[in-house]
Amino acid sequence: MIDTGKSNPPASLTYKDSGVDIDKADTFIKDIAPLIKKTFRKEVLTDIGSFSALFRLDITKFTEPVLVSGTDGVGTKLKIAFMAGRHDTIGIDLVAMCVNDVLTSGAEPLFFLDYLAVSSLDPHTAGEIIKGIAEGCKEAGCALIGGETAEMPGFYSNGEYDVAGFCVGAVNKPEIIDGSSIVEGDTVIGLASSGLHSNGYSLARKLFFETEGHDVNAFIPELGKTIGEELLTPTKIYVKAVFSLKSELKIKGMAHITGGGITGNLPRILPAGFGASIDKSSWEASKIFGLIRNKGIIAEDEMFKTFNMGIGYTIVTPKEDAARAVEILNGMGQRTFIIGNIVKGSGVIYN
C-alpha cells in the first residue's frame, strides 16, 4: 500500500461532546414548565420559552408607579446543599433574599428571574432548585417570569452550581417607604428569623465542619436535628405579613437583616442624626446562635455584626402604633417583638 502521508479524518465533534447537552436542557425546561406556570400572575403576557418576558403593569393599581429592583444570591449556603445532597430549599432562599430587599421600599414584588449555572445539567437537582424558587415566588406573590440555565463544563466542579436571583417590584411614589420620616421615640419592631437565613455561612462552615469536624448529617442534641437540617432551613419571606401591616398602619422604615446583622443594616434606613437603641433581651434567638457563639468562643459584638441573631426583618413605626403592629404581625404567623426605639445619635446601641 502506498503511504500518502494522510491520516483518517477525525470524527466530527458536537457540542454534546464538549459537555453541553442542549436536548437535555430543552427537556428539562419542558418538565419544569408546570411548576413555573403556577406562579404566573394575570399581568404575565408571555409563555415559557420566549426570548424575553413581558409583564403588563396594572396602572389601575399603580397610578404613580415606581419600579423597584433587587438582585442577590445564596452565598456559601450552597456548600451545605452540596454536602447534604439536598437542593429543595435553596430556591426559597434565593427568592427570599431578593423579595425581602425589594419589600423594604414598600414595593410589591411583581416578577422574578433566576440564573442557574452548572457544570453538567442534572435534571433532578435542577428540578429541586426550581421547585424551591417556584415555592418562594408563590409565597411572595410574584411570578417566576424567566430564567437561564447555563451548562459550563470545566468551570464548576461536578455536582456544584451557582444561583442568582433578580426581582422587580412596584410601589406608588407617594407610598415609598424610605425612613425619611423616622424621628426620636419611634419604635423598632423585630420579626423573628428562621435561623441563619443566608448569611454568615463561611464562619458557620468553618466552625462546624473544620474546627468541630462534624459530618453534615451529625445529630446535634442542642438543636434536636442534624446540623445539615438546621443550616438548610430556608430564609423567611416577609411579604404577606408586611403588606397586611401596611394596609392598616403607617410604616416609617424597614430593614432586611442580612450580612452585617442589625448592626450593619438598621442604620441604613435611619436619617442623619438618629440611631437605634436595641434591647437584646427583648427576644429569644434560635439555639443555633448560642451554639455558634459558645463553640466558636466568638465575641458578642462579632456575632451581632455577622448574623441576624434571631431577627430577620425590622420595622419602624410610631410609638403609638407599636402594640397594634405586633398584634397584626403575630396574626400573620410571625413571631414579633418590640426590640427598641429610635434615639438621637448614630448607629446601633445595644442594651
Q: What is the pLDDT of residues 71-128, one digit of tens each?
A: 999 999 999 999 999 999 999 999 999 999 999 999 999 999 999 999 999 999 999 9
pTM above 0.85, yes or no: yes
32 close to 114: Cβ distance less than 8 angstroms = no
Does residue 332 share a domain with residue 266? yes
Does residue 246 share a domain with residue 166? no
Does residue 327 share a domain with residue 276? yes
91 close to 165: Cβ distance less than 8 angstroms = no
Angle, helices 239-246 vs 90-103, to 10°: value is 20
* Nearest residue to 209 (alpha-carbon basis) of 299, 73, 76, 75: 76
How buried is 19 (Cβ within 10 angstroms: 0-12 exposed, 13-18 middle, 19+ buried)? middle
- Tens place of pLDDT per residue across the chain (351 aa): 445 555 565 567 776 766 676 777 778 888 889 999 999 999 999 998 889 999 999 999 999 999 999 999 999 999 999 999 999 999 999 999 999 999 999 999 999 999 999 999 999 999 999 999 999 999 999 999 999 999 999 899 888 999 999 999 999 999 999 999 999 999 999 999 999 999 999 999 999 999 999 999 999 999 999 999 999 999 999 999 999 999 999 999 999 999 999 999 999 999 999 999 999 999 999 999 999 999 999 999 999 999 999 999 999 999 999 999 999 999 999 999 999 999 999 999 999
Q: Domain holding 70: CATH number?
A: 3.30.1330.10
Last-in-domain residue among 114, 149, 173 = 173
The parent domain of residue 153 ranges over 19-173
Does residue 136 share a domain with residue 33? yes
Does residue 191 share a domain with residue 166? no
Does residue 316 share a domain with residue 270? yes
Number of domains in the chain: 2
Does residue 254 share a domain with residue 152? no
| Residues 103, 59: Cα–Cα separation, whole Å | 19
Does residue 309 share a domain with residue 214? yes
For residue 179, tell me if it sits in a domain: no
Does residue 326 share a domain with residue 192? yes
Q: What is the DSSP letter of 7?
A: P
For residue 14, tell me if it sits in a domain: no
How buried is 74 (Cβ within 10 angstroms: 0-12 exposed, 13-18 middle, 19+ buried)? buried
| Residues 31, 161: Cα–Cα separation, whole Å | 20
Last-in-domain residue among 173, 205, 235 = 173
Last-in-domain residue among 122, 146, 173 = 173
* Nearest residue to 307 (alpha-carbon basis) of 297, 298, 316: 298
